[in-house]
A and B are shown apart, each in its own frame.
Chain A
Amino acid sequence: MTSTLTSTRQAVVLDAPGTGPGTPILSARGLRKSFGLTEALRHVDLEVLPGEVLAIMGPSGSGKSTLLHCLAGVLVPDEGTIVYSGAETPVSAMPEEERSRLRLTDFGFVFQFGQLLPDLTAVDNVSIPLLLRGEKRGAATKIARYWLDRLGLEDAHDKRPAELSGGQAQRVAIARALVNNARIIFADEPTGSLDSLSAENVMTILLEIVRELGTTVVLITHDARTAAYADREVIVRDGRIATTDWQVGA
Chain B
Amino acid sequence: MSLDLARLAIVGSRGSRGRLLAIAAGVAIGVAILLVLWGARNGLHARDERSSWTLVWGAPQVTTADGQPAELTEDSLLAYQTVDYFRDERIMRVGVATLPGTTVPFPAGITPPAPGEYYASPALADLIDSTPSDQLGDRYGTRAGILPDEALVGPDALVVMVGYDPAEAAASDNFELLSGFNETGRSVNQAYQTILVIGGIAVFFPVVLFISIVTQLGAAQRQESFATLRLIGAPPRTVVSVAAVEMAVTSLVGAIAGVVLSRLVRPLAAMVPINGETSFTSDFEVSPTVTILVVIAMVAVSTIAAASRIRRAGIGPLGGSRQLREGRPSWLRVLPLLVGIGTMLLATLSIDHTFLPAGLVGPLLILGFTVICLGLVVIGPWVTYQVSRLVSRAARSAEAVIACSRILATPAATFRSVGGLVVAVFLVSVFAGSASVVEEQVTPREAPGLMPVDMLTVSGDDVASPDTIEALWSTDGVTGVIPGHAIDQDSELAGMVAVSRDHALALGFEHVPEAGWVGFDAADFTAAERDGDPELFVVDPDEVGEPDRLYVATDGSPDAIERARTAVDVSAGVSSIAMTRADLADFGTTRLVNSLAVLAYLGIFFAVTIAGISLAVSTVAAMLDRKRVLGLMRLMGMPAGSIRRIIGMEAAVPLAAVLGGSIGLGFLVAWMIVTRLGNGDYAMGWPDPLYFVTLAVSLALAVLSISTGAATVNRNTSVSATRFE
Q: Do A and B belong to a common assembly?
A: yes
Q: How far is the CB of A6 from chain B (nearest CB, A)?
A: 31
Contacts A118-B221, A120-B8: A132 and B238 contacting too (C-beta < 8 A)? Answer: yes
Within 8 A of B (CB), among A98-132: 100-105, 107-109, 111, 113-121, 124, 127-129, 131-132
Q: Which of B78-86, B223-231, B662-670 contacts A (4 or more CB under 8 A)?
A: B223-231
Q: For residue A103, which residue of chain B has the nearest CB?
A: B233
Alpha-carbon gap, A193 to B723, bound state (A): 9
Taking a contact as CB atoms under 8 Å apart, the answer to whether B317 and A166 are in contact is no
Q: How far is the CB of B247 from chain A (nearest CB, A)?
A: 16
Within 8 A of A (CB), among B210-254: 221, 224-225, 228-238
Q: How far is the CB of B1 from chain A (nearest CB, A)?
A: 8
Alpha-carbon gap, A75 to B230, bound state (A): 12
Alpha-carbon gap, A216 to B318, bound state (A): 22
Alpha-carbon gap, A163 to B78, bound state (A): 85
With a CB–CB cut-off of 8 A, which chain B residues contact A100?
230, 233-236, 238
**Choice from B8, B13, B237, B724 contacting A131 with Cβ under 8 Å:** B8
Contact with B along A140-170 (1 / 0, CB 8 A): 1000000000000000000011000010010
Does B14 sit within 8 A of A, measured CB to CB? yes
Q: How many A-B residue pairs have CB under 8 A?
A: 97
Taking a contact as CB atoms under 8 Å apart, the answer to whether B234 and A104 are in contact is yes
Taking a contact as CB atoms under 8 Å apart, the answer to whether B8 and A97 are in contact is no
Taking a contact as CB atoms under 8 Å apart, the answer to whether B231 and A103 are in contact is yes
Does A96 sit within 8 A of B, measured CB to CB? yes
With a CB–CB cut-off of 8 A, which chain A residues contact B12?
119-121, 124
Does B530 sit within 8 A of A, measured CB to CB? no
Alpha-carbon gap, A113 to B231, bound state (A): 13
Taking a contact as CB atoms under 8 Å apart, the answer to whether B233 and A166 are in contact is no
With a CB–CB cut-off of 8 A, which chain A residues contact B221?
118
Taking a contact as CB atoms under 8 Å apart, the answer to whether B724 and A166 are in contact is yes
Does B7 sit within 8 A of A, measured CB to CB? yes
Alpha-carbon gap, A115 to B231, bound state (A): 9
Residue from A118, A119, A124, A131 having most chain B Cβ neighbours under 10 A: A119
Q: How far is the CB of A128 from chain B (nearest CB, A)?
A: 7
Taking a contact as CB atoms under 8 Å apart, the answer to whether B15 and A101 are in contact is no
Taking a contact as CB atoms under 8 Å apart, the answer to whether B7 and A109 are in contact is no
**Choice from B16, B317, B318 contacting A103 with Cβ under 8 Å:** B317
Alpha-carbon gap, A133 to B318, bound state (A): 21
Taking a contact as CB atoms under 8 Å apart, the answer to whether B229 and A128 are in contact is yes
Alpha-carbon gap, A108 to B14, bound state (A): 26
With a CB–CB cut-off of 8 A, which chain A residues contact B725?
113-114
Does A42 sit within 8 A of B, measured CB to CB? no
Does A176 sit within 8 A of B, measured CB to CB? yes
**Choice from B4, B15, B232, B233 contacting A160 with Cβ under 8 Å:** B15
Contacts A119-B14, A124-B12, A161-B724: A104 and B233 contacting too (C-beta < 8 A)? Answer: yes
Q: How far is the CB of A82 from chain B (nearest CB, A)?
A: 15
Q: How far is the CB of B173 from chain A (nearest CB, A)?
A: 79
Q: For residue A96, which residue of chain B has the nearest CB?
A: B236
Contacts A131-B2, A132-B5, A137-B8: A119 and B15 contacting too (C-beta < 8 A)? Answer: yes
Alpha-carbon gap, A124 to B229, bound state (A): 12
Does A134 sit within 8 A of B, measured CB to CB? yes
Does A29 sit within 8 A of B, measured CB to CB? no
Does A74 sit within 8 A of B, measured CB to CB? yes
Does B419 sit within 8 A of A, measured CB to CB? no
Report A's interface with B, CB cutoff 8 A: 69, 74-75, 96-97, 100-105, 107-109, 111, 113-121, 124, 127-129, 131-132, 134-137, 140, 160-161, 166, 169, 176, 180, 193
Q: 7 extra interchain contacts, Cβ-Cβ under 8 A, other than A119-B225, A129-B232, A160-B14?
A: A75-B318, A100-B236, A107-B233, A117-B225, A120-B13, A124-B8, A132-B2
12 contacts between A and B (CB under 8 A): A74-B231, A75-B318, A104-B233, A109-B231, A113-B724, A114-B724, A115-B231, A116-B228, A119-B16, A120-B12, A131-B5, A136-B4
Report B's interface with A, CB cutoff 8 A: 2, 4-5, 7-8, 12-16, 221, 224-225, 228-238, 316-318, 724-725
Which 9 residue pairs across A and B have the least CB separation, nearest first?
A104-B233, A119-B13, A137-B4, A103-B233, A100-B235, A131-B5, A119-B15, A74-B317, A97-B235
